[in-house]
Homo-oligomer: A and B are copies of this chain.
Amino acid sequence: MPEHATDYLAPNAANHVALSPLSFLQRSVHIHPHKTAVIHGARNYSYREFYERCVRLAAALHAHGVAVGTTVSVLAPNIPALLEAHYGVAMAGGVLNAINTRLDASTIRFMLHHAECRVFLVDSEYSALAKAALEGVESPPLLVEILDNEVTPNFRSAFDADVLNYEAWLAAADPHFAWQLPVDEWQSLALNYTSGTTGDPKGVLYHHRGAYLNAMSNVIAFKLATDSVYLWTLPMFHCNGWTMTWAVTLAGGTHVCLRQVDPARIFALIGAHSVTHLCGAPIVLNMIANAPELPAAPFVPMVEVAVGGATPPSAIIERIERLGFHVTHLYGLTETYGPATLCEWQSDWDDLAVTARAQKVARQGVITPAQGELRVIDVHTGADVPGDGNSIGEIVLRGNTVMKGYLKNSQATHAAFTDGWFHTGDLAVMHADGYIEIKDRAKDIIISGGENISTLEIEEVLYRHPAVLEASVAAKPDEKWGETPCAFVTLKAGQAATAAEIMAWCREHLAHFKCPRHVVFGELPKTSTGKIQKYILRDWARALK
């Protein structure tokens, strides 16, 4: 131990600075003051303008008492104000709570109360929803309305005429507000509620350190650079847009805002702004792949698409790649700042046929650059499952891009962090090449005659049927087998298929015991985030005669 008298080697102000994504904006405004940072319809902000708007927001929040730990909630689609909140709230020391716009008023009311929201920024389109959510709230937050120029003109605000206006509020704020980086990189930065299917939503806390590292990791994984143009098809209220809100700024790239996911608008914006990257859940890919009007030719150069949030059927990957999108598959949870794994490309996949390649890409892959460790463990013994592509276990993670914990919920936090690992509740196999493939949520797996059946594996086959638009499989209780698979299917417009045909298709592609015994046609129940609600399907399956 040669470091004698090491007091002087302790961290000091010159060599230890809290990791914070705020430093990304600080750096990019210095290097690229005149470069376009944000595009929204006819509006453009240079990095200097964007930075100044964020500082003004911080000043306005600070003036209203926002300090370290104060929650600021935002109910808005992917507009500049929400992006600005990703910096301005933290510059004031506060915690950003971006709320899913598809939630109902009572859930939002729960969140505002639970988070002790002090300031609430609301896009006028959601003013009626916000007004309903605020009903009966004892100490209501300061309400600020965002009137977006891209809102359809026939829209009217539900708020009183004297509500604060975001632009006027910013204009009146100090553009020279002396914001500072957090002293402690463990300081909370964001609060994202999970859309739990049962019970109250849990408030996942992110800290500055994790957001900084996850954003760096994204820049590396997706090769973001100053010439990157990122289209906001992924809601910023999902894990802060998988931290792309900060990553694109670190790269010095351009954010292209988007109020609403609409394929025609997406195609137009890609053309108009030379979009290089976008992200989304499989449903976004599905919308693009099945758009009524497709672009005349595939995009050149290809648009990089990161897809996650659920497993994209390989048939959809295949279809969208033909349109000029290159798909990288991610896996993660709100608890992991979004991406925890990605299906990193292997050069020997270059020579595979499109379908075989799509099946490789549909796997969840390996840890992202900033994630620490991943294991797939036997749920009974806790030992690593063999890398045989067949033995199912739970994915557990450890790393700096795992959440700080659940706000005001020590019990759920402790449960999630049992044995020093974050337990995802997702079931997967480990392939021989070290890539994981998710087989199911722990609660979704079907156990039939003692065999585990992955509902995802059946869904993968269903999606390959030419008439199928969407499919989901749930367990149906069975006296003999314990459970059997029941398929729920939405057909494409103008397409037809019978239950017998679907079952025959499955028998062609699956082991017999994995084939659905029932097929139900119709629309699938979905959460506000577009996830298929399997617990409802399980109820439906149970009720089936």
Contact = CB atoms under 8 A, between A and B. Distances in A.
Interface of A: 1-5, 7-9, 11-17, 19, 23, 26-27, 30-33, 68-71, 95, 115-116, 186, 188, 205, 210, 213, 216, 219-220, 223, 225-227, 250-251, 344-347, 366-367, 369, 372-373, 397-400, 402-405, 407-408, 410, 413-414, 416-417, 420-422, 434
Given A9-B405, A414-B8, A17 B398 contact: yes
A420 B404 CA distance: 29
Contacts of A69: 1-3
A9 B187 CA distance: 10
A8 B407 contact: no
A220 B1 CA distance: 34
Given A116-B2, A407-B2, A407-B3, A400 B15 contact: yes
A8 B403 contact: no
Shortest 7 CB-CB contacts between residues of A and residues of B: A13-B420, A8-B410, A1-B69, A15-B402, A2-B116, A17-B372, A14-B417
B366 A434 contact: no
A14 B421 contact: yes
Given A3-B69, A12-B420, A15-B405, 9 more contacts: A2-B95, A3-B205, A9-B404, A12-B417, A13-B398, A16-B400, A17-B373, A30-B366, A220-B251
A104 B255 CA distance: 55
Contacts of A23: 372
A58 B347 CA distance: 31
Nearest to A31: B366
A1 B216 contact: no
A1 B344 CA distance: 40
Contact of A408 (B2, B17, B31): B2
A351 B26 CA distance: 27
A403 B219 contact: no
Among A3, A23, A403, the most chain B Cβ lie within 10 Å of the Cβ of A3
A68 B6 CA distance: 14
A282 B347 CA distance: 35
A200 B226 CA distance: 43
Contacts of A369: 27, 216, 250
A417 B220 contact: no
A143 to B, nearest CB: 19
Nearest to A185: B400
Nearest to A187: B3
Given A13-B398, A69-B3, A8 B434 contact: no
B17 A399 contact: yes
Among A13, A15, A69, A408, the most chain B Cβ lie within 10 Å of the Cβ of A15
Among A17, A210, A219, A227, the most chain B Cβ lie within 10 Å of the Cβ of A17
Nearest to A67: B1
Contacts of A397: 14
Contact of A8 (B19, B225, B405): B405
A220 B226 CA distance: 11
Contacts of A95: 2
Given A2-B116, A68-B1, A404 B15 contact: yes
A413 B31 contact: no
Contact of A9 (B12, B251, B413): B413
Among A2, A19, A32, A414, the most chain B Cβ lie within 10 Å of the Cβ of A2
5 contacts: A12-B420, A13-B417, A14-B398, A17-B398, A31-B434
Contacts of A403: 15
Contact of A115 (B2, B13, B115, B416): B2
B216 A11 contact: no
A15 B422 contact: yes
Contacts of A9: 205, 404-405, 413
Contact of A2 (B2, B71, B420): B71
Contacts of A205: 3, 9
A430 B3 CA distance: 37
A421 B17 CA distance: 11
Contacts of A366: 27, 30-31
Contacts of A11: 186
Among A1, A14, A250, A251, the most chain B Cβ lie within 10 Å of the Cβ of A14
B71 A31 contact: no
A33 B399 CA distance: 22
